[in-house]
């Protein structure tokens, strides 16, 4: 089996070797499929291992939790109110959306889920749907009476359940498992240089995880039986324990579970691609159906998904919604200078010299273009680092400006741009949907999106040459017109 992992291709090959050698589709603990959890954690860990070579032999630091300034009594009361709100509003909803605060932006002075709320508002589904946020709900929020802070509600439920179990002296659950050849899998991983115990792949840790999931199954079962939804739509099925519990409950009740695309999904994204061993009824910790933005992504899914659950192209609703409410500006209303939109990555995943290679610095200094530097949604703390680096390299501050993705819609930024550039941001997909050309200038982007390069709007430029500047000039001269005429999908269809 592959013992060296130096690229995203190596990650894919290793995971596929695991699925070929081991009966991963049969691994269960306490009735919960564990391979999707392991596969995703392994994928993310190995991506970080490839991207951050200096950290290869260092165990990742545990995330520090900042103590709440709220007293226990106040927090209990806040959680109780959110739980009561859920109990009042959960009934008779045809749709349940599970969201995250990272997907909310400020729209009309409210935090607006750009995927779900776009469809809810356009199709008037306010009374037919409810949105549950897996992380803390930031106020003011759109459609507040049907937006629930799930973290608070679940936390209150757990407290009540803990007291109930003590009163009635409920016995602890007996662990059951089906783990043929799992020990061999774990021993192989344990011998690799990329392995860390923090992955939690040992049986004891995985059992503890399934028991944690099991404690929330009753809560979600109550929610879903009370709501009686037609379908439940998730964004990012992986990464949250509460998501897994909700997914298992919904699948067990036979409710249609759907994953809504929230970013780039390429054939190297192993949370979504190349699943070669899947149980006949699907993994109970994964959705059965997938809604995606474009045909290429649908083909990527449909290479492994079995009918009748083939991926469906539903477009990107926020593009249609935001453009409908803020029509595309005419070229005459653009800035006098051509705007180059640069969607940045997390600086922790690249060096400052990769973010601003010499070829890009030369273009910023020598061309009469304005560079709009748009922060990654999860990171806006590197502004001073960028300013200092650009100043030291002779780039005048008038040549660029910064943009916060929480306050300006991506579609709005793209309608004012002539060209989009990036290291490897998935925003290139949305740019292509808007007929805005993209230039990728990092080898990671080249690997991730090689199958998109057949599109005339997506090009790769070697940052070590003058190719980036040349392609910028060519696209500026071509002056593509922004256009988007796709309908906003009705999630009740």
pLDDT tens digits for range 234-245: 998 988 899 999
448 pLDDT above the threshold of 80: yes
Average pLDDT estimate for 454-462? 91
Number of H helices, E strands in the chain: 17, 18
- pLDDT band at 175; cut points 50, 70, 90: confident
3-state secondary structure of 370: strand
Domains parsed from the chain with CATH numbers: 1-60+70-314 (3.40.50), 323-478 (3.40.50.2000)
Q: Tell me what pLDDT residue 164 has.
A: 73
pLDDT attached to residue 102? 86
pLDDT at 123: 97
Predicted pLDDT of residue 278: 96
Instruction: Describe the chain by its helix, strand, coil percentages, rounded to 5.
Output: 45, 15, 40
CA angle 345, 348, 353 (to 5 degrees): 75
Confidence of residue 332 (pLDDT cuts 50, 70, 90): very low
pLDDT for residue 336: 55
The answer on pLDDT for 428 being more than 90 is yes
The answer to which of 75-89, 113-127, 226-240 has the lowest mean pLDDT is 75-89
What is the rounded distance in angstroms from the CA atom of residue 174 to the CA atom of residue 234? 30
Q: How confident is the model at residue 174 (pLDDT cuts 50, 70, 90)?
A: low
Predicted confidence band of residue 250 (pLDDT cuts 50, 70, 90): very high
Q: What was the pLDDT predicted at 350?
A: 79
Q: What is the pLDDT of residue 192?
A: 96
pLDDT band at 56 (very low <50, low <70, confident <90, very high): very low
* pLDDT, mean over the chain: 89
- Report the percent of the chain where pLDDT is more than 90: 67
Per residue in 371-406, pLDDT tens? 999 998 877 678 999 999 999 999 999 999 999 988
* Contact residues for 11 (Cβ-Cβ < 8 A; gap 6+): 5, 43, 46, 47, 50, 268, 270
Residue 67 is predicted with a pLDDT of: 44
- The model's confidence at residue 63, banded by pLDDT at 50, 70 and 90, is very low
Cβ of 73: how many Cβ atoms within 10 Å?
Answer: 8
pLDDT band of 333, cuts 50, 70, 90: very low
pLDDT for 487 equals: 94
Mean pLDDT of 153-171: 76
Given strand 95-99, what is the order of strands in its sheet?
147-149, 129-133, 95-99, 231-234, 256-260, 289-292, 312-313
Q: What is the pLDDT of residue 341?
A: 98
Secondary structure (DSSP) of 1-39? ------SHHHHHHHHHHHHHHS-GGG-EETTEE-HHHHH
State the Cα–Cα distance between residues 42 and 47, nearest whole angstrom: 8
**Residue 171: is its pLDDT beyond 70?**
no
- Give the confidence band of 473 by pLDDT, cuts at 50, 70, 90: very high
Confidence of residue 64 (pLDDT cuts 50, 70, 90): very low
Is the Cα torsion angle 429, 256, 287, 139 positive or negative in sign? positive
pLDDT at 334: 44
């Amino acid at each position: 089996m592959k013992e060296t992992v130096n690229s995203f291709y190596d990650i894919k090959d290793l995971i596929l070797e695991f699925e070929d050698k081991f009966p991963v589709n049969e691994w269960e603990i306490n009735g919960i499929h564990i391979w999707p959890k392991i596969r995703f954690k392994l994928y993310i860990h190995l991506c970080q291992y490839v991207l951050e070579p200096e950290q290869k032999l260092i165990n990742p630091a545990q995330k520090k939790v900042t103590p709440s300034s709220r007293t226990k009594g106040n927090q209990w009361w806040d959680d109780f109110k959110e739980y009561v709100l859920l109990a009042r509003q959960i009934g008779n909803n045809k749709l349940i959306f599970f969201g995250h605060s990272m997907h909310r932006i400020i729209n009309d002075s409210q935090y607006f889920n750009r995927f779900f709320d776009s469809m809810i508002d356009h199709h008037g589904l306010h009374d037919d749907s409810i949105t549950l946020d897996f992380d803390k709900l930031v106020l003011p929020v759109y459609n507040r009476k049907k937006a629930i802070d799930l973290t608070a509600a679940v936390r209150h439920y757990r407290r009540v359940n803990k007291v109930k179990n003590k009163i009635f002296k409920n016995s602890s659950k007996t662990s059951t498992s089906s783990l043929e050849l799992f020990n061999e899998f774990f021993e192989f991983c344990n011998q690799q240089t990329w392995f860390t115990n923090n992955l939690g792949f040992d049986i004891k840790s995985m059992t503890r995880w399934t028991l944690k999931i099991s404690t929330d199954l009753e809560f979600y079962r109550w929610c879903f039986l009370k709501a009686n939804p037609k379908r439940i739509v998730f964004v990012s099925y992986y990464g949250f324990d509460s998501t897994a519990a909700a997914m298992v409950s919904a699948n067990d009740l036979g409710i249609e579970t759907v994953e809504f695309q929230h970013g780039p999904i390429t054939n190297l994204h192993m949370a979504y691609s190349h699943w070669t061993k899947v149980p006949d009824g699907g993994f109970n910790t994964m959705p059965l159906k997938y809604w995606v933005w474009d045909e290429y992504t649908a083909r990527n899914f449909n290479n492994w998904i079995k009918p009748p659950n083939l991926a469906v192209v539903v477009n990107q609703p926020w593009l249609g919604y935001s453009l409908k409410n803020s029509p595309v500006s005419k070229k005459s209303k653009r800035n006098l200078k051509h705007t180059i939109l640069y969607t940045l990555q997390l600086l922790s995943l690249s060096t400052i010299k990769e973010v601003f290679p010499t070829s890009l610095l030369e273009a910023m200094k020598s061309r009469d273009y304005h560079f709009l530097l748009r922060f990654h949604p999860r990171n806006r703390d590197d502004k001073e680092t960028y300013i200092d680096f650009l100043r030291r390299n002779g780039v005048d501050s008038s040549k660029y400006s910064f943009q916060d993705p929480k306050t300006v819609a991506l579609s709005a930024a793209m309608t004012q741009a002539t060209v989009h550039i990036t290291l490897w941001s998935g925003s290139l997909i949305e740019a292509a949907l808007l007929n805005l050309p993209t230039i990728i200038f990092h080898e990671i982007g080249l690997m991730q999106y090689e199958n998109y390069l057949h599109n005339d709007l997506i090009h790769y430029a070697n940052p070590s040459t003058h190719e980036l500047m040349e392609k910028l000039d060519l696209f500026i001269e071509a002056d593509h017109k922004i256009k988007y005429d796709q309908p906003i999908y009705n999630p009740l269809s």
